[in-house]
Amino acid sequence: MKDNKLGLWLLIGLVVGNMVGSGLFMLPSTLAKAANPVGVILAWLLTGFGVMLIALVFGNLAIRKPELTGGPQMYAKGLFKEGTRRSHVTGFLATWGYWISNISGNVAIVTTFASYLSTFFPMMTSQYELVTILGLTIKLGNLLTFIICSSFLWINHMIIIRGIEGAGKLNLAATIAKVLGFAIFIVIGLWAFEKANIVPLMPEKLDSIGEPIPFLSQVSLAAMTTLWAFVGVESAVVFSSRARKKTDIKKATIIGLSMALTIYLCISILAMGVLTQDQLMASHKPLVDALSVVIGPSGSYVMAGLGLISLIGSALGWILLSAEVPFQASRGHMFISIFTKTNKHGAPINSLIITNLITQTLLLSTLSSSLTDAFEYVTTIAVLAVLIPYIIASIYQLKMIATGDTYLGQGRQRLVDAIIAIAATSYAVWMIVAGTSNLVTFLSGIILVGGGIIFYPFAQKKS
C-alpha cells in the first residue's frame, strides 16, 4: 500500500494502542488509593459504559458527516452557522484544548516509559545530588530520566516523519505484542489469585484527615481516574481523513474499545488479587510488582519489558494523534496556518515539530518531581481538557437529531441516536463535575482551555 491510507486493522491498532498504554501500567496503584475493590470494579464498568456511548456518537458522526474529518474538535465548528465568528472561535478553542490535552498525554506516556526502563537500569532512580541551581537540586536519577525521556520523544518523531502509514504499522505490531503479553499476564494472574488479598470487598476508606470517604465519592473519584485509560478512543475519528473506508471508523472504535475494556477489567481485578491493597497503594509499578510476586525477580523484568513494548506503541500513536489534531484543524481554516505544512511523506511536519517542542519543555518537570507525581498531575489535566470535545461531539449529534439533518425517513434510528447522545452528554458532564470539585483543578482547566484565546488572532479564517 502506497496511498498512505489506514485500513481497519491499522485503525484498530491506533485505538487500542492509544488507550492501552501508560494508564493500565500505573492505574492499579492510583485506583487502590481512590476506592475499595467494589468501587474500583464499578468505576471500570461505569466508565466503560459511558465511553461506549461516546464511541457510538463518534461512529455515527463519522458516517453521517464524513466531510468533518480530523477529530471531535471539528464538530465544535458545526455547532454554529458556517462562516460566523462564533463557529470559528468555538472550533479554535476546542482544537486548542484538545491539542494541549494530547500533549499532556504525551508527557504521561514518555515519563511512564522511563519509569519502566528503570527496572533494567536502577541508576535512573539514584538520589545522588549533582548540583543545586536557583534552589533546585538536580539528582542523578532525575537527570538520566530527563535525557532518556527526551531521546525517546525525538526517536518517535524521526519515525513518524518518514510516513504515517509506516508509523501506523509499527504501532499495530506493538499493539499485537502487548495484547498477547497481557493475555499471558491474565493466565498467570488467574493461577496466582489470592482471595484474601481482595477481601473485604468494601473496607472503609479514609481521607487525609482520617474521615470516612462515602462510597459514591469513591466511585466518582475512581471513575474520573479510569477515564484516563480510555482517552484515545477517538483515535480513529481523528485519522478519519486518512481512513481507507469511512465505515471502518465506527468499526475500529467499537472493536478497539471492547478489547481495551476487557483487558482493563481482567488486569485490574487480577492485580488486586495478587497484591494486597497496601502493596498496591505503595507501588510505583504495580504490574511489575504483581508478576514479581508470582514468578520471582525475573517476573519484574518480563512485565517491564512488556510495558516498554506497550509504551513504544502508545507513544507513536499519541504523538501522531497530537500532531494530527492541529494539522487537520488548520486545513479546515480553524487554526494557525503554519500547522498545515506536510513533508514529502505526507506527515504534518510543522505540527509535529511544534507539538514535540512543547512536550520537550514539559518534560523538564522530570528534573524536579517524581514520575508518579508527574503522571497523576498530567492525567488530571488531560482528562478534563479532552472531555470538552467529547461533550461538543454529543451536543452536535443532538443538533443534527433536532434539525433532522441526515435523518430523513429514519424516525426510529433518530430516536435511538437521541437517547445515546443524551446519555453520552450526561456522562461527560458528570465526569467534569466530579473532576472539578476542587477549585484549583477547576481554575486550572479553565486557564488551560481559555488561555488559547491569546493565540486566536493568529488563526486563519476562510475567505
- pLDDT for 78-106, tens place per residue? 888 877 888 888 888 888 888 888 888 88
CB 313 within 8 A of CB 10: no
What confidence score (pLDDT) does residue 144 get?
Answer: 92
Q: Which residues pair with 139 in a beta bridge?
A: 129
Question: Could you read off the pLDDT of 145-191 as tens digits, one per residue?
Answer: 999 999 999 999 999 998 877 787 887 888 788 788 788 878 888 88
Kindly state the average pLDDT of the residues 41-53.
91
Euclidean distance between CA atoms 257 and 278, whole angstroms: 30
pLDDT digits (tens, 9 = 90+) for 317-326: 889 889 988 9
Q: How far apart are CA 346 and CA 162, in angstroms?
A: 8
pLDDT band at residue 463, thresholds of 50, 70 and 90?
A: very low
Q: How far apart are CA 364 and CA 140, in angstroms?
A: 14
Do the Cβ atoms of 429 and 391 come closer than 8 Å? Answer: yes
- Domains of the chain in start order, with CATH, are 8-458 (1.20.1740.10)
**pTM of the predicted model as reported, rounded to 2 decimal places:** 0.78
Using the structure block, give the residue that is written with the C-alpha cell 505544512. Answer: 341
Arithmetic mean of pLDDT over the chain = 82
Interval 15-30 mean pLDDT: 76
Residue-wise pLDDT for 342-399, tens only, equals 998 888 999 999 999 999 988 887 776 554 455 556 556 666 677 778 888 899 999 9
Q: Give dist(CA 67, CA 228) in Å, integer.
A: 29
Can you tell me the distance from the alpha carbon of 30 to that of 23, in angstroms, rounded to the nearest whole number? 10
Cβ-contact 225, 31 below 8 angstroms: yes
Residue 261 identity (one-letter amino acid): L
What confidence score (pLDDT) does residue 363 get?
86
Which range, of 52-56, 138-142, 172-176, averages the lowest pLDDT?
A: 172-176
Which ranges of 131-276 would DSSP assign to H, the alpha helix?
Answer: 140-160, 164-192, 195-198, 215-227, 235-238, 247-274
